[in-house]
Amino acid sequence: MTHKITENIYRIELPVSVGLLDSVNVYLILGEPSLLIDTGYDREELRSLLDKSLSELGVSIERSDIFLTHMHPDHAELALRLASEGRTVRIGEAEAEILSGLRKGPEAGADRLRSLGFGDEFINEFSKITSKRRLPVDKSRLLGVNEGDRLNYGGYELLCIDISGHSPGQTGLYIADKGMLICGDHILYGVTPSVNAWDGEPNPLSHYIKNLLKLRDLEIETLLPGHRTMTCPVSQRIEQLISRRNKKLEETLMSLRRGGCLSPFELSSLITWSTRWDRLSTFQKFSAVGEVAVNLEYLVSLGEAEKQPEGCVLRYAAL
């Protein structure tokens, strides 16, 4: 489904299932050339829907420049396939280096899972559902962008803004004279963006919160998120997200005080989730434990908790 946002800017909704989300937003800025922002999964049915929507607007993927807000598969998988076939893709510099193998990136391998407290049975099951690896991409096909870089498409100047946290190099595009921000998954409505504990990112929650506060200082009238649509002013949504993060941090600390010295996995079963802990799927448990681990690292940085490694397992205690 295609929606016109303003002159030369369109949103294309592609149906997908990502946790509680049922679609991903791809944005198009018409011009010579056009700019496609995010592409969705590399699935034949989604590629057909995207091609159809672009064709109706008189453009094609092959003749459009591509920009990725971040490297998660629901936003980037098709673009990475196109890059491996010779196309050029812009993405945050940190993630360009990760995808091209020049820098260690976020991983969820067996050693990392064991450090969070997962057992071998879970690790074996998790490896089965995450066996598909990212496509190796030649660095020359990825053009890294940094905060302050400017792009020009469709009569608009797009300012690149670092909004890492949800991913190591998530980058937003800000159109100042329109008060418009394309923000990937940094700010979402109806759900709280995930910030997970993947190896290589010691304290991603600090980046996430810092960048939320940075966006609060911008004049943003229209937010274009990676999923769903804007339903309240950006400043109000930022305050809601910060409040929810603070409440989760408080619950994490209180549960840690009651439970003693615990691994993130052990602590997760004491935390309140929208679905009962014993009914969470394998991937949902991974995500939940990752969120708890992120909260614990943030509490350590605040001096509210301390890390007490036990063998290969990370354990934490309240101070």
Question: For the domain that residue 304 is a member of, what is the CATH number?
Answer: 1.10.10.10
> Which residue, 239, 258, 276, sits at the end of a domain?
239
Q: Number of structural domains, the chain? A: 2
Domain membership of residue 289 (yes or no) is: yes
Produce one character per residue of 267-299: b if its CB has 16 or more CB atoms within 10 Å, e if not: bbbbbeeeeeeeebeeeebbbbbbbbbbbbbbb
Domain membership of residue 165 (yes or no) is: yes
Domain membership of residue 135 (yes or no) is: no
CA–CA distance from 86 to each of 26, 66, 141, 169 (Å)?
A: 21, 12, 7, 22
Write phi, then psi, for 98 (nearest 5 degrees).
-65, -50
Least confident of 192-196, 220-224, 249-253: 192-196
Mean pLDDT across the chain: 92
Query: Between the CA atoms of 274, 280, 283 and 288, what dihedral angle is there, to the nearest 10 degrees?
Result: 50
Domain membership of residue 220 (yes or no) is: yes
Domain boundaries, position 314? 248-318
Are 15 and 151 found together in one domain?
A: yes
Q: In what order do the strands lie in the sheet with 156-162?
A: 150-153, 156-162, 171-175, 180-184, 222-225
Are 234 and 252 found together in one domain?
A: no
Are 273 and 184 found together in one domain?
A: no
Write phi, then psi, for 182 (nearest 5 degrees).
-95, 115
Distance CA 156, CA 225 (A): 18
Q: In what order do the strands lie in the sheet with 21-29?
A: 2-6, 9-18, 21-29, 34-37, 64-67, 89-92, 142-145
Are 180 and 259 found together in one domain?
A: no
pLDDT digits (tens, 9 = 90+) for 57-89: 999 998 899 999 999 999 999 998 898 888 899
Q: Find out whether 107 and 113 touch, Cβ atoms under 8 Å.
A: no
Distance CA 149, CA 159 (A): 6
Are 23 and 71 found together in one domain?
A: yes
Please give the pLDDT value at position 214: 97
Are 170 and 197 found together in one domain?
A: yes
Domain membership of residue 62 (yes or no) is: yes
Q: Is the pLDDT of residue 152 over 60?
A: yes
Q: Find out whether 25 and 13 touch, Cβ atoms under 8 Å.
A: yes
Are 219 and 188 found together in one domain?
A: yes
> Which residue, 213, 239, 265, sits at the end of a domain?
239
Query: Between the CA atoms of 158, 161, 165 and 166, what dihedral angle is there, to the nearest 10 degrees?
Result: 0
> Which residue, 239, 273, 299, sits at the end of a domain?
239
- Helices (H) and strands (E) counted in the chain, each on its own, are 9, 14
pLDDT digits (tens, 9 = 90+) for 253-269: 999 999 999 999 999 99
Are 123 and 159 found together in one domain?
A: yes
Domain membership of residue 152 (yes or no) is: yes
Q: Locate all alpha helices (DSSP H) within the chain, ordered by sequence.
A: 44-56, 73-84, 93-99, 110-115, 120-129, 204-216, 234-259, 264-268, 282-301
Domain membership of residue 271 (yes or no) is: yes
Are 190 and 286 found together in one domain?
A: no
Please give the pLDDT value at position 103: 75
Q: Is the pLDDT of residue 134 over 80?
A: no
Q: Is the pLDDT of residue 51 over 90?
A: yes
Q: Indicate whether this model's pTM tops 0.85.
A: yes
Domain membership of residue 314 (yes or no) is: yes
Please give the pLDDT value at position 132: 56
Are 203 and 284 found together in one domain?
A: no
To 5 degrees, how large is the angle CA 101–CA 107–CA 111? 120
Least confident of 131-140, 289-298, 303-312: 131-140
Distance CA 119, CA 29 (A): 47
Distance CA 3, CA 251 (A): 40
CATH code: domain of residue 146: 3.60.15.10
Are 116 and 158 found together in one domain?
A: yes
pLDDT digits (tens, 9 = 90+) for 9-34: 999 999 988 777 899 999 999 999 99
Are 83 and 168 found together in one domain?
A: yes
